[in-house]
Chains A and B, each alone.
Chain A
Amino acid sequence: MRFARTLLLAAAFVSVAGLARAAGPEIGAAAPDFTLQTIDGKTLSLAEAAKTHKAVVVMFIATKCPYSNAYNDRMRDMAAAYGGKGVLFVGINSNKTEPLAEVIAHAKEHGHTFPIAKDPDNKVADLYGAGHTPEVYVVTPDGKLRYHGRIDENYEDASKVASPDLKNALDDLLANRTVARAETKAFGCTIKRV
C-alpha cells in the first residue's frame, strides 16, 4: 500500500516538470512549523498558535491577485466568525513582488485584523509546497495538517457558493469529526518566488 502510494507520488512528481517546489505535507502529517514576524511587529509561531487554538488556518494570500482579493471579505468574516470558536486565521504573503508596506496597506484597506506576515524568500510557502493564492492549510493542536485547498469553489460570487470547503472542514474539526473533504483545488495566482 505504501509502495503504491510512493509510486503514485513519484508519478505525480514526474508528470509535472518545471515544478521547482517540493511537495507539501500530506493530510494527517505534521504541518511544518514556522516562526514569522507579523506586520504589526509580533512574533508568530505556528506551533505555539496551534497549541492555544482549536485550529489554525494558514492562508497564503496576495495583495494584487484577483482570485485572492475576491476572498478578502470572506477571509475577514470567517476569521471573525471562527475566532469566537477558538480558530485562528493567519495570512501569509510570500510574493516577492509585494513589499511589506503594500501588505500593511492592503490589510488595513480590507479590515484584515487577523495576524498577517511577510514570508521572506518564500520559505514557508516552500515548506508547505504552496503554489498559488489563495491557498489554505488547516492545522490542529496536535500539529497535524487536516485540510488543504480552497476557501470555496466560487471566487466570483460569495452569495452563490455551493461548496464552502474551508467552512465545512472547520465545522468538522470543531465537532471532532474527521474532515470529510480534506483536499480541494481551485485556480489561483502563482506565488511569485525568489
Chain B
Amino acid sequence: MRIPMNERLLYTLQIADNALILGHRLSEWCGHGPVLEQDIALTNIALDHLGQARSLYQYAAAQFNELPAEQKQPIFSSPALQQNINAGAEIDEDDLAYLRDGWDFKNVLLTEQPNKDWGYTVVRSFFYDTFNYFFYTELQKSSDETLAAIAEKSLKEVTYHMRWSSEWVIRLGDGTEESHKRIQEAVNDRWAFTGELFNMGQVDKAMLANNVGVDLNKIKPFWQESIEAVMNEATLSTPANNWMQEGGKEGRHTEYLGYLLAELQFMQRAYPNMEW
C-alpha cells in the first residue's frame, strides 16, 4: 500500500514537536533547580528530549525534501520557512525548529504549559512521560523502520523519565501537608490537558491504517492504570472532570507557545543562519 508522504511527515513532526517543546520547557530549569542534583537530573532529561527531537526533525526534513515541489507548498504556512522553500532550498532540522510559527507546531497543549513551580513541572512530566512510555513501546513495532529505531532508542530514556517523574509525584503527594496540597492542585489544573494525548486525528488514523502509527485508544487504558497506581501511592485523587482541552495537534495553541517560541527562535530570526 502506498503510504501518503505528507501524513507520514506530519506524524513525524507531531512526535518531534512534543519532544522539542517539552525539552525546551524543562531546559528553563537549568540553573534554577531546587538542589544541584535535581538541576542536573532535569537538564539531562531536557537533553534527552532535544536529542529525540533532533532525530525526528532530521527524518522529517529528509521526508520533506523528497516531496515533489507542488506537494511541498501547502505543508507549512510560516513565512520564514516558506521563503526558503520557495527559493528552492532544502530544509534541515534547524529550519523546522527555528523557522516555523506556532500554528505549524503540532505538539499537544500539555507540553507547552509553563513550569510554574516544581510540582507543576513534575505533574506535566508525569502525565507526558507515562504517555510517552506506552507510545514508544508501541511505535517500536512501526512498519516505518526509522520511526521504529528512534522509538527503540528513545524508550530507554523515557523509561527513566517516567521513573523520575512518578517518584516525585509520590514523594510530594505522600510528603508534607503543603507538598500534598500543592501537587494535588497541579494535578487538578493540568488534568484537562491529558485527553488530547489520546486524540486520534486524521494523521494518526491514516498512519495507524498503514501500520506506521500507534493506536492511541489502545494505550489509553495502560496510561490510566499506570497513572492511577502512582496517584494512589501518592495519596492523590484523580480529578473527576472529563472536559478536555485540545487543539495543539491541529496547530491551535495556548498563548504560552508564542512566548516559548519567541525565546527559542529569537537568535535565528534576528540573525538568520547565524552559527555559534
Q: Do A and B bind each other?
A: no
